[in-house]
Amino acid sequence: MISTVEKVLFLKSIDLFRTLPSEELAQIAEIAEEQPLAAGDQVFAQGETGDALYLIVEGKVKVHQGSKELVRLGERDVFGEMAVLDSEPRSASVTAVEDSVLLKIGRDDFRDILGERPEIAMGVMKVLTRRLRETSRK
Amino acid sequence: MRAAALEELGQLRRPEPLADMRALLRDPVAEVRAAALGAVCAIEQEAAVPTVLPFLDVRIAPEAVVRAAAAVALIRHAGIDGVLAAAEPLKQLLGAGDPRDRAAAADALGRIGVGGFFRPLLAFLRDPDLIVRRAAIAASGKLRASELVAALVEQFQRRETALEAVSALAAFGPGIEGALEAILLDEASQVDCRRGVALVLQRLATREAADALVSALICREPAVRKAAARSLARLTRRHRGVRIEGARVERAVHVELAGARTVLSIFKKLPLPAAGHVPRTAAELLGMALLEERDARVLQALVLLEVLLPRVRVDVVAENLRSESGAARGNAIEVLDNALPEPWKREVMANLEESKRRGDQVVPDGRPVAEIVSALIGGECGPWVAACAARWALDGPVPLARLLPALEAGLHAAPAPLREAAALAVARAAPAEASRLLAPLAGDPAPSVSRTVRALLDRSAPRASA
């Protein structure tokens, strides 16, 4: 079981949250739900409505469309992050390839926090802006 | 557009387009019919009663918005006959089961605008249905009855109504500052309510509102102090003529900088490794939390210095102080160095560890480490630092037994991360007593706390029976 302080330590190592003060991350940590997975467990399926973002604490998952593997993600990778901002269907499925532990942050909880704490929303916007700039440069 | 035009014509009381306005009483859009009722009645006054009366009937006007508009038109424009005719249908709307009817009734009370009609709005402000609460908030801003202030402040607890409540309370105008100040300074009031009140005071922008905000600058709750400082800074920036009691703001700046100094001196005393930007251990996280707390207090002081020194714009600089980029932070320090006058510059720079004068530099806290950690868990440097300190205590920087009184108190503190960290540390510090001490937290409202405590109790149960 991961305590709130440990979750903050973990979130601080994730690009999306790195620049947020740790006290603000504590609020996100409180809504981040630990989700253990066995190898072969599906996190979500292609076409489902996105309702959460996931952070890999331990283990590995594969992102795939049917039997075609698109990418393999490991510790500290994030997936499904756009789903907290829109509700588009998932473009691919995600399945654990080994025993893994994820942190799941539900869209509604996350949006509540963004609404209540503009400084957190500002932090997320800064990260998205930075990513956009980096994409434009490439 | 038709509805807006009708409202405008009704206010002008121009009889020329009356025939066209009457035609719109049959418009397919309910809002247009509602506006037409108000406009026709405003122009024809008592003579409009036979025209408007049928629209009180649900069979003629199934839409609540039309019936409510008919009632408002009769009460406002049609004399005693109108009031008598509208009273019963309006009462029916007030007590209706359909939320759309209740929302229309709330809107009607706002349009009627009689302050004495506040009681139904008090009930509507606590209605389970959001559309009713929203209509009641808007209506309260029109009624401006002082009895509604507290119920409007309650709306700040819910994100979906908070901004509307700010607008409604701001619409009251001057005269409610005293009631708002009492809530702002009440440490027992809900933090979101107090933060919302600070925004309203900013919008009121009176001398009394500014005084209330200044009074909150030294209150206990950091989030309220922050909200009050930001509201005061915006108020003074946008309304240069409002007089501020500078001496009290200066005192608040000194308090914040002294707080920053305390935090920094504790950081210097504790054996905490430098974290960089990504802490990997509880010790590094505590170090980071302390420095973030120091920065927060310096930033608060800078916001207040903007109030005292309107020509000094430090908001962008302040933002860069937290930058990961060394160059951006260095630039911010340089700008501050040039912009701040003495004695503020010396104090701020010392807290940022940018002082070259030996006498200004912050020295390590003189207390023993165990005493400092106990004080931190007790909240000396804020709730988040307290949680980090309780978690760090688990790693054994000082014997846990010496921290037990502070940890036990932490079990009952308001911040959930502190309760959780204290529970983990108490289970380690006093395993024989863990069940007794932790059992009350098994049903804690915060899932993070209740889950952790239940796991700890499960773990300690076999040992207890053995």
Write out the DSSP string of B95-146: T-SSHHHHHHHHHHHHHH--GGGHHHHHHHTT-SSHHHHHHHHHHHHHH--G
B417 in A contact zone (CB under 8 Å): yes
Average pLDDT of the segment spanning A80-100 = 85
Do B93 and B68 touch, CB atoms closer than 8 A? yes
Q: Is the pLDDT of residue B322 over 50?
A: yes
What residues in A contact B296, CB-CB < 8 Å?
A: 21
Q: What is the pLDDT of residue B275?
A: 64
**Same domain flag for B263 and B347:** yes
pLDDT at site B466: 38
DSSP B288-300: HHHHHHHHHHHHH
Backbone angles phi, psi at B363, to 5 degrees: -100, 155
- CB contact under 8 Å between B446 and A30, yes or no, is yes
Q: Are residues B382 and B460 in the same domain?
A: yes
The continuous run of DSSP H or E covering A57 comes out as: strand A52-58
Which domain does B338 fall in, by range? 247-360
pLDDT in tens, B395-410: 888 888 899 999 999 9
Strand order through the sheet with A68-73: A42-44, A93-96, A61-65, A68-73
User: Is the predicted pLDDT of residue A7 greater than 90, yes or no?
Assistant: yes
The answer to whether B99 and B129 are in contact (CB under 8 A) is yes
Quote the CA–CA distance of B194 and A12 in Å, as a whole number: 30
Residues B251 and B349 in one domain: yes
Sign for the CA dihedral angle at B375, B377, B383, B389 comes to: positive
- Tell me the backbone φ, ψ of residue B287, rounded to 5 degrees: -60, -45
Cβ contacts (< 8 Å) between A21 and chain B: which residues?
A: 292, 296, 322
What share of chain A in percent tops pLDDT 90?
38
Report CB contact under 8 Å: B417, A26. yes
Give CA separation, B85 vs B58, B78, B113, B371, B457, in Å.
14, 10, 18, 74, 67
User: How many other CB atoms sit within 10 Å of the CB of residue B50?
Assistant: 9
Q: What's the pLDDT at B315?
A: 67
- Domain boundary at B318, B336, B360, which? B360
**CA within 13 Å, CB half, A19:** 19
Same domain, B251 and B354: yes
Write the pLDDT tens digit of every residue in B175-211. 999 999 999 999 999 999 999 999 999 999 999 999 9
**Would the CB atoms of A4 and B421 count as touching at under 8 Å?**
yes
**Residue A35: predicted pLDDT:** 94
Residue A9 touches partner B, C-beta closer than 8 Å? yes
CATH architecture of A4-137: Sandwich (2.60)
Q: Smallest CA–CA separation between A137 and chain B, in Å? A: 19
Partners of residue A100 on adjacent β-strands: A37
Asked whether residue B120 is assigned to any structural domain, the reply reads: no
Instruction: Confirm or reject contact between B11 and chain A (CB < 8 A).
Output: no
A8 in B contact zone (CB under 8 Å) = yes
- Least confident segment among B90-99, B140-149, B372-381: B90-99
pLDDT in tens, B267-293: 999 988 876 778 889 999 999 999 999
User: Based on the domain organization, do B373 and B298 belong to the same domain?
Assistant: no
Which region among A69-73, A134-138, B138-142, B229-233 has the lowest average model confidence (pLDDT)? A134-138
Please check whether residue B217 lies inside any domain of the structure. no
Q: Packing angle between helix B416-429 and helix B400-410, nearest 10 degrees?
A: 140
In chain B, count H helices and then E strands: 26, 0
A115 contact B CB<8A:
yes
Residue B90: how many other CB atoms lie within 10 Å: 25
The model's confidence at residue B461, banded by pLDDT at 50, 70 and 90, is: low
Higher pLDDT, B328 or B168: B168
From chain A residues 95-114, the ones with a CB under 8 A of any chain B CB are: 112
How do residues A28-68 score in pLDDT, each as one tens digit? 898 899 999 999 999 999 988 888 889 999 999 999 998 99
Instruction: Give the sheet arrangement for strand A32-37, strand by strand.
Output: A32-37, A100-106, A52-58, A78-79
Decide which of B325, B360, B395 is a domain's last residue.
Answer: B360
**According to the model, what pLDDT value does residue B343 have?**
83
Give B159's contacts in chain A (Cβ within 8 Å): 112, 115-116
Say if B311 falls within a structural domain.
yes
| B415 and B455 housed in the same domain | yes
Integer angstrom CA distances of residue B338 from A32, B47, B302, B309, B313: 44, 73, 14, 14, 12
Shared-domain flag, residues B253 and B316: yes
Torsion of CA A47, A51, A53, A56, to 10 degrees: -70
Judging contacts by C-beta atoms under 8 Å, the chain B residues touching residue A116 are 159, 192
**From CA B305, how far away is CA A54, in angstroms rounded?**
42
Q: How many domains does chain B have?
A: 2
Distances (CA, A) of B119 to B82, B86, B146, B308: 22, 18, 11, 43
Domain ranges of chain A: 4-137
Pairs across A and B, CB distance < 8 A: 69
| B263 and B352, same domain (yes or no) | yes
Q: Is B458 on the interface with A (CB under 8 A)?
A: no
User: Is the model's pLDDT at B464 over the cut of 50?
Assistant: no
Task: Kindly state whether residue B459 falls inside one of the protein's structural domains.
Answer: yes
Tell me what pLDDT residue B458 has.
86
Asked which of B326, B360, B394 is the last residue of a domain, the reply is B360
Burial (CB count within 10 angstroms: exposed 0-12, middle 13-18, buried 19+), residue A102: buried
Higher pLDDT, B293 or A138: B293
- Percentage of chain B exceeding pLDDT 70: 97
Contacts of B421 in chain A (CB under 8 A): 3-5
A1 CB neighbours in chain B (<8 A) are 451-452, 455
Sort out which chain A residues have CB atoms less than 8 A from B391's CB and list them.
3, 5
B26 in contact with chain A, both atoms CB, cutoff 8 A: no
In the prediction, which pLDDT does B465 show?
42
Q: Quick one: tokens of B81?
A: 């006959």
The identity of residue A124, as a single letter, is: V
